[in-house]
Amino acid sequence: MTSADLVTILPALIVAVWGIILLVVDLWIPRSRKGLTALLAAIGLGAALGVSLSLFPARQSGFNTMTVLDGFAIYADIIILGSALLAVGISYDFLRKLNIHRSEYYTLMLLSTSGMILMAHAFDLIVVFLALELLSIPLYVLAGFARPRPDSEEAALKYFLLGAFSSGFFLYGVALIYGGTGTTALAQIVKALAAGTLLNPPLFLVGAALLLVGLAFKVSAVPFHMWTPDVYQGAPSSVTAFMSVSVKAAGFAALLRVFVQAFPDLAASLTPILWALAALTMIVGNLLAIAQNNIKRLLAYSSIAHVGYLLMAFVAYGNGEVVGDAVAAILFYLAAYGLTSFAAWGVVLAAEQLEGRGLEFKDYAGMGRKYPLLGLAMIAAMFSFTGIPPTLGFWGKFYLFSAAIQAGHMSLAIIGLLTSILSAYYYLRVLVVMYMQPGEPVASQTTWVNVVTLVSAAAVVLLALFPSSLINLAQQALMWLVSG
Amino acid sequence: MLNPLILVTFFPLVGVVVLALIPAAQKAALRWTALLTSLVTLGLSLWVAAVFRVGEPGLQMDTPLAWSQVGGVEIGLRLGIDGLGLLMVLLTTILTPISILSTWEAVQERVKGFMIFFLLLETGMVGVFLALDLVLFFIFWEFTLVPMYFLIGMWGGERRVYAAVKFFIFTMAGSVLMLLAILYMGIQGGTFYLPSLINSREVFAGAQLWLFLAFALAFAVKVPMWPLHTWLPDAHVEAPTAGSVILAGVLLKMGTYGFLRFNLPLFPEASVQAAPWMALLAVIGILYGAFVSYYQRDMKKLVAYSSVSHLGFVMLGIFALNQQGIAGAILQMVNHGLSTGALFLIVGMLYERRHTREMEAFGGVWKVLPYMGALMLIVTLSSAGLPGLNGFVGEFTILLGAFGSTAINSIWMVGAATLGVILAAVYLLFLYERVFLGAIRHEENRHLPDVSVREVLVLLPLLVLIFWIGLYPRPFFDLINPTVQSLLPALQTAAAAIR
């Protein structure tokens, strides 16, 4: 192990070590000043973000090609770390409001974040699996953080059981791929594929499909989405916000890394499956979102729908001419979706009161008038989710759809656009309630929740005026194929 | 050098920023800021008109600014103008201050939000008429939904939420396929710049009919063409007066403008093939709108359905696909904006006095409101197409074009459309009679105040234009003809190829 090896996972390392240090340091922080713990967590994440940015655009592998550092991984790091930073920002005030402020929250969050980062840097299926577990286990605890509230405990248990289930799928897939190729290293798999020396091609294909299922659970693609609404609703909202952005980013990072780099030859066999997965996810996510009256469940189903749009571009992964644009579009969309989500979740966190009150639509009546800034943030978020310009969400969808069209998946693009019309209906409902119905809403105005909400909302609109900056960055963040 | 087109498009945003800084309680300051902003924008558009070189074919004042790219295809902040665009921009910048002035007393709640949305809407509308990059056009096009949605939903009548959501969903549903078509064409043609795409339209000629339909759906919802018109009565009736004026005056024109700017030059063969069908729908719309108007008891609904009928004439003119038809259609787009805008304004003034729009509640009010009665008479006759006023010139030219059209090639259809002119006179004069003539039936109507100076100021510019176009339409045709001339050759080639 050399320092060059460590550099390839440096951001993950910083976050993990910092998380453990934080656990110890916290013992000396007096109970009345626990805000310091949150601040320290944010500093650690900020440092890791700075390091990631300074590494761009590196191209190197480490640990005998088990890990890799490239523009793609760094772009994913930025999304994941940015999301963790915003999540820490909204967590402190929120946890205090709900009387569940305990310091281990931040350590768990940092550990989970390090797992997510590792996922983007993994270049061996075993490392992907380790990262997946490192990501998941702290999240199971975080989902139950509002104990003894039953729905939070239920969320933790449900997430754990289905998470374990999906890990099983994933691990079985890895085993089958090992049987099919004789290795778990992506670099070796690429070589074996190029040389045509697979031991057992059918086994390899089945293994890849199981990997897909495992990751589809994590990013909650239909039909592996069943846990999402319950877990998103039961977990403390700050955790849900973090989960709905970061886990999906990490999941897609792994999905892209494994499939684009190691399995492009399987595209022909997998395309029908991926096509169905994307179409189902878009349709089911959007249809079920219409029927929701609880804002957390609404956002849960909407997050499923957005996974569908991401998968739509992912279907094109095997098409050599389009894959660059498709990957860039997915990275762009993850960033756009992340910022939009935090704008929306910030409003939810401000409106939520003790005992899970303040989460129904009717609790939002009149909010646009009473809290104009929260209202504006929600306008930006809802139009961005719908894909109405000038928001990042519009450009995100624009790039995803253009990737799908370039790859010749016109039918998927049409499904995507038609389901966007459905989504307009339920996103508009939120605005209807907030702006066009009278009511006496209650929202707590706390500094950091407001800052995160408004910064995210402003970014959603202002960055949309300069879309080329983000998409060019995403296009430079191409994957580097390790050969050796 | 600062391009006047960029200024005229984005200047209202300066007003938005200023408005955002003014406290919500300062209603007068908010109103004056919005009005001044829209007046400066009007001034800027007049500057554009002054530097515009009349008679020169093609697009002028192009702004080649790179903005973004997709799949290696550049997206530019490209604005440009021709006679059609200039007329539409002027219509927008004239109607906006008029609408703002009309809200002086009607809008008392949440003035700040109202004015901000109104100026945002102006930027969106002007952008639609100037954008030459298809993606930029789509962005402006979709963006206009946002402020209009809030204007209807927050300041509208009783069923405002239903109307606002319906308006949004209908228009968005219409335009999503257009986005697909834009992406497809951009990727196939290697550019989103309209003039380049027109030159390289052979590339996607195979998919022409589908692309035509994708664009046509978006525009037909907006126009609205029968049978996609059902959002319009709801939106018009529930919208606040100023919203109705802009909706009828400008937003509907975005649909017909789209047909002229995109469908005809990009897909000439498909346009020729579709012409009889589009004309058929237009004629159905003319007659349907006229009949339904006749049976309305609500003044605003009557005017709303009359728009379906009038826009049917515009569509008929466009798909006559000849010189007179298209020129008449463009002029009639302006006319409809002026006449229907004025009708909505007067209906709004009556509503402010009596808080009802039922014709039953009026009757004989000319005796109490002689000035308003006179103004209404002029506007009604202009909308009905009386010679000497603007409506006649437009409708006459359209019908002339439609009768001589080889693309439509059906005397019966055009004959039926001519019937629409008579029907328009019937329902409009019926409206006038029920409201202004006869004996006063309700005691509370005896003491209504006549038009105020502000209200005269609101209507005056429209009346001047109504007479100007009616008596001396030549300068307008001088603006229109180069645009028409640039469309015709491709259409004639296409027609010859098909026959």
Is A406 within 8 Å of B71 (Cβ atoms)? yes
pLDDT at A482: 52
Angle at B418 between CA B414 and CA B422, to 5 degrees: 165
Which chain A residue lies closest to B214 (C-alpha atoms)?
A: A414
pLDDT at B226: 85
Residues of A in contact with B110 (CB under 8 A): 369
Angle at B21 between CA B20 and CA B27, to 5 degrees: 80
Pairwise CB contact (< 8 Å): B161 & A420: no
Read off the pLDDT of residues B232-265 as tens digits, 9 standing for 90 and up.
988 888 888 888 999 999 999 999 999 999 999 9
- Burial call B408-441: b when 16+ CB within 10 Å, e when fewer: bebeebbeebbebbebbbebbeebbebbbeeeee
Length of chain A: 484
Distance from CA of A324 to the nearest CA of B (A): 9
By three-state DSSP, how is residue A61 classified?
strand
Radius of gyration of chain B (CA): 22
Distance from CA of A467 to the nearest CA of B (A): 6
Q: How far apart (Å, rounded) are the C-alpha atoms in residues A190 and A474? A: 24
Nearest by CB to A468, from B68, B142, B177: name it: B68
Nearest by CB to B161, from A390, A432, A471: name it: A432
Distance from CA of B13 to the nearest CA of A (A): 13
Amino acid of residue B438: G
B153 touches chain A (CB under 8 A): yes
Pairwise CB contact (< 8 Å): B68 & A395: yes
Residue A1 pLDDT > 80, yes or no? no
Range scoring the smallest mean pLDDT among A304-313, A320-329, B29-38: A320-329
Q: Which residues pair with A294 in a beta bridge?
A: A360
How far CA A205 is from CA of A208, A255, A269, A312, B244, in Å, comes to 5, 15, 8, 21, 60
Cβ neighbours around A354 below 10 Å, total: 9
For B281, the token pair is 């729908």
By three-state DSSP, how is residue A100 classified?
coil
The pLDDT confidence band at residue A316, using thresholds 50, 70 and 90, is confident
For B484, the token pair is 């028409």
As a whole number, mean pLDDT of residues A447-474 equals: 89
The pLDDT confidence band at residue A480, using thresholds 50, 70 and 90, is low
Eight-state DSSP code of residue A235: S
The pLDDT confidence band at residue B158, using thresholds 50, 70 and 90, is confident
The DSSP H or E segment spanning B74 is strand B73-76
Residues of A in contact with B70 (CB under 8 A): 325, 398-399, 402, 471
Pairwise CB contact (< 8 Å): B179 & A418: no
Nearest by CB to A402, from B143, B172, B187: name it: B187
The pLDDT confidence band at residue B341, using thresholds 50, 70 and 90, is very high
Query: Cis (ω within 30 of 0) for the bond into A148?
Result: yes
B161 touches chain A (CB under 8 A): yes
By three-state DSSP, how is residue B448 classified?
coil
Residue A484 pLDDT > 60, yes or no? no
**Where are the domains positioned within chain A?**
3-476
Distance from CA of B154 to the nearest CA of A (A): 6
Distance from CA of B432 to the nearest CA of A (A): 35
As a whole number, mean pLDDT of residues B406-433 equals: 87
Nearest by CB to A436, from B135, B140, B160: name it: B160
Q: How far apart (Å, rounded) are the C-alpha atoms in residues A305 and A222? A: 9
Nearest to residue B314, comparing CAs of B337, B330, B292?
Answer: B330
Pairwise CB contact (< 8 Å): B172 & A402: no
For B8, the token pair is 């005229």
Q: What are phi and psi of B66, to 5 degrees?
A: -70, 150
**Where are the domains positioned within chain B?**
267-499
Eight-state DSSP code of residue B214: H
Q: What are phi and psi of A483, to 5 degrees?
A: -125, 100
Nearest by CB to A435, from B67, B145, B150: name it: B150
Q: How far apart (Å, rounded) are the C-alpha atoms in residues B282 and A115? A: 62
Nearest by CB to A406, from B71, B142, B177: name it: B71
Q: What are phi and psi of A69, to 5 degrees?
A: -125, 110
Q: How far apart (Å, rounded) are the C-alpha atoms in residues A333 and A168? A: 29
Nearest by CB to B179, from A417, A428, A431: name it: A417
A373 touches chain B (CB under 8 A): no
The pLDDT confidence band at residue A483, using thresholds 50, 70 and 90, is very low
Percent of chain A with pLDDT over 70: 99
As a whole number, mean pLDDT of residues B282-290 equals: 92
Read off the pLDDT of residues B102-117 as tens digits, 9 standing for 90 and up.
888 888 888 888 999 9
Angle at B495 between CA B491 and CA B202, to 5 degrees: 65
Residue A63 pLDDT > 90, yes or no? no
Residues of B in contact with A402 (CB under 8 A): 70-71, 183, 186-187
B212 touches chain A (CB under 8 A): no
Mean pLDDT of chain B: 88
* A200 burial level (CB within 10 Å; 0-12, 13-18, 19+): middle
Amino acid of residue B322: N
A390 touches chain B (CB under 8 A): yes
Eight-state DSSP code of residue B404: T
Pairwise CB contact (< 8 Å): A417 & B176: yes
CA B41 to chain centre: 18
Read off the pLDDT of residues B42-93 as tens digits, 9 standing for 90 and up.
999 999 888 888 877 778 777 777 777 776 778 888 888 888 999 999 999 9
Q: Which residues pair with B193 in a beta bridge?
A: B133
Q: How far apart (Å, rounded) are the C-alpha atoms in residues A336 and A450? A: 19
Q: How many CA atoms lie within 13 A of B303 on its CB side?
A: 33
Amino acid of residue B499: R
Q: How many CA atoms lie within 13 A of A223 on its CB side?
A: 2
A421 touches chain B (CB under 8 A): yes
Pairwise CB contact (< 8 Å): A388 & B187: no
Is B177 within 8 Å of A416 (Cβ atoms)? no
Which chain A residue lies closest to B176 (C-alpha atoms)?
A: A417
Q: How far apart (Å, rounded) are the C-alpha atoms in residues B36 and B41? A: 8
Query: Cis (ω within 30 of 0) for the bond into A30?
Result: no
Is B152 within 8 Å of B243 (Cβ atoms)? yes
Does residue A385 come out as left (phi exceeding 0), alpha (psi in the -120 to 50 range) or beta? alpha
Q: What are phi and psi of A438, to 5 degrees?
A: -80, 150
* A168 burial level (CB within 10 Å; 0-12, 13-18, 19+): middle
Query: ipTM strictly over 0.90?
Result: no
Tally: H helices and E strands in chain B: 21, 2
The DSSP H or E segment spanning A14 is helix A10-25
A contact test, residue of B70, B73, B110, B146 with most A CBs within 10 A? B70
How far CA A179 is from CA of A194, A200, A251, in Å, comes to 18, 7, 24
Which residues neighbour A442 within 8 Å (Cβ) at sequence distance 6 or greater? A351, A353, A358, A363
A contact test, residue of B149, B160, B175, B204 with most A CBs within 10 A? B149
A467 touches chain B (CB under 8 A): yes
Residue B196 pLDDT > 60, yes or no? yes
pLDDT at A105: 92
Q: How far apart (Å, rounded) are the C-alpha atoms in residues A225 and A301? A: 9
pLDDT at A481: 58
For A305, the token pair is 């729908």
As a whole number, mean pLDDT of residues A276-304 equals: 93
Residues of A in contact with B186 (CB under 8 A): 402
Q: How far apart (Å, rounded) are the C-alpha atoms in residues B350 and B300? A: 11
Nearest by CB to B169, from A369, A414, A421: name it: A421
A432 touches chain B (CB under 8 A): yes
CA A81 to chain centre: 11
For A219, the token pair is 């990013």
Nearest by CB to A389, from B143, B150, B187: name it: B143
Pairwise CB contact (< 8 Å): B180 & A405: yes
Q: What are phi and psi of B52, to 5 degrees?
A: -65, 135
Amino acid of residue B485: Q
Eight-state DSSP code of residue B322: S
Pairwise CB contact (< 8 Å): A405 & B184: yes
Q: What are phi and psi of A482, to 5 degrees?
A: -80, 125
For B52, the token pair is 């515009």
Nearest to residue B312, comparing CAs of B431, B215, B416?
Answer: B416
Radius of gyration of chain A (CA): 21
pLDDT at B2: 65
Distance from CA of A319 to the nearest CA of B (A): 14
Pairwise CB contact (< 8 Å): B153 & A432: yes
How far CA B208 is from CA of B215, B263, B264, B462, in Å, comes to 11, 10, 11, 40
Q: How far apart (Å, rounded) are the C-alpha atoms in residues A244 and A230? A: 13
Nearest by CB to B161, from A420, A436, A467: name it: A436
Q: How far apart (Å, rounded) are the C-alpha atoms in residues A481 and B195? A: 41
B179 touches chain A (CB under 8 A): yes
Pairing of the two strands A67-69 and A60-62: antiparallel
Chain B, 182 to 201: residues with Cβ < 8 Å from chain A are 183-184, 186-187
Pairwise CB contact (< 8 Å): B169 & A436: no
The pLDDT confidence band at residue A19, using thresholds 50, 70 and 90, is very high
Amino acid of residue A208: A
How far CA A149 is from CA of A100, A137, A154, in Å, comes to 11, 20, 9
Read off the pLDDT of residues B23-40 as tens digits, 9 standing for 90 and up.
888 888 888 999 999 999
A473 touches chain B (CB under 8 A): no
If you write DSSP's letter for every residue of A404-449 in order, what string do you get? Answer: HHHTT-HHHHHHHHHHHHHHHHHHHHHHHHHHHS---------HHH
B17 touches chain A (CB under 8 A): no
Q: How far apart (Å, rounded) are the C-alpha atoms in residues B249 and B307? A: 10
